[in-house]
Structure 1
Amino acid sequence: MKEEYDFSKARKNPYTNKLKKQITINIDADTIDYFKSQSKFSGIPYQTLINLYLSDCAEKKRQPQINWN
């Protein structure tokens, strides 16, 4: 093993500009179950799926549509 490594020509991590922040959020059990079932189908962890969905909503500036009937 070398004593020193040269990382001057190393590629930059493309994901460093999208750092995540850990939060606490209350989500209905049915919603979590839905994303867990989607996770089994897609092979993507359910928390990642939830993040992808919320990111898509934020990017497209979707407004919540709530119907209290």
Structure 2
Amino acid sequence: MDNDEIRSEYKREDLGKGVRGKYFARFTKGTNLVLLDDRVAKAFPTAEDVNAALLGLLDLVPKTRITGRSSGRAKTRR
């Protein structure tokens, strides 16, 4: 049986009209998936490997607060 076809006992008209992306927003809200560069994925093939590497990196960086805001003043050269 071809997986792209429905079984003969099901009629497509009985299934109703599908809605594209009906659950997309709900799905993306509950996930934190990221796309890795192919080189990164090759070096860290599992989620556990990625998390271990990133957690190790976090241990190395100083604990600083990044606000993403500037002071509003232009930096001047002296």
- Structure showing greater radius of gyration is 2
Report the structure, 1 or 2, having the larger helix content.
1
Q: Normalised by the shorter chain, which TM-score bucket?
A: 0.3 to 0.5
Highest RCO, 1 vs 2 (Cα 8 Å, sep ≥ 6): 1
- TM-score, with length taken from structure 2: 0.35
- TM-score, with length taken from structure 1: 0.39
